[in-house]
Structure 1
């Protein structure tokens, strides 16, 4: 754990000094860094604190598809409780901004559904109806090129086929 914390601190220091252009991380053992005294939940939060960033975004890159997280470092139960229309609007805005940073002048974003088959009109959960669809509609009203909620068994395939630049 101490070695992981030291490596993250060193990477942040090198980036802030301009000695590296980027920091790429691999998974770390959260329990080990907590045992070493890290006060943050993971390296994303550590890097945000070390750099003074006002916000942080977790993004996975699979080929050219950027994949974003609406929540992180919490149980599924807590994640479901944590999402609401304002938080999803914020996640959408941050995802779109990150896509612009990566050179997508008019980013195409898809929002993945949470429940099996996109909830099937509330039969398998209603988060798509109550939370995701209103957030997507609001972003679309703001001019975003956004689709969703799209069932997870389809959206990532569609993204890898080039239909979207990112998936939230």
Structure 2
């Protein structure tokens, strides 16, 4: 029997529905929770408040993963290659600071790994990477209707036109890391 070694990663790469769907397919990922982080307003924010762009929060996901199956480095490589880390406060048609590219580290080891991964993937992009690397201060879980969004709404237009192509890219680039 193998002992599981759970760790947590918190990342934001645009709409949390997209990043959640990507990481739900990754081997070693135990749980993915959509939420908000990085803001400066008191209290638990709502989706509507986040969409205003006034809270300072980003849409993020919190990934619980077994580091005996997948490393934090591999999580970040998948993250950096399944969204565009070169567009400031934007992913596709989604615009605003809530859609920024960000890695919230939980400890100094994660911080150093994040810096290394960003440096490693930089040559693969024509434009400069704008992904922020910041300490996690607080994570707020998003409302229930935002959890498992793609799984529950695959025929919805946004899912078909935005998320499904991201999943195809994931399958092409990281087939060896999938469940």
Please give the TM-score of this superposition, normalised by the length of structure 2.
0.32
The structure with more strand, counted as a fraction of residues: 2
The structure with more helix, counted as a fraction of residues: 1
Which of structures 1 and 2 has the bigger CA Rg? 1
Higher relative contact order (CA 8 A, sep 6+): 2
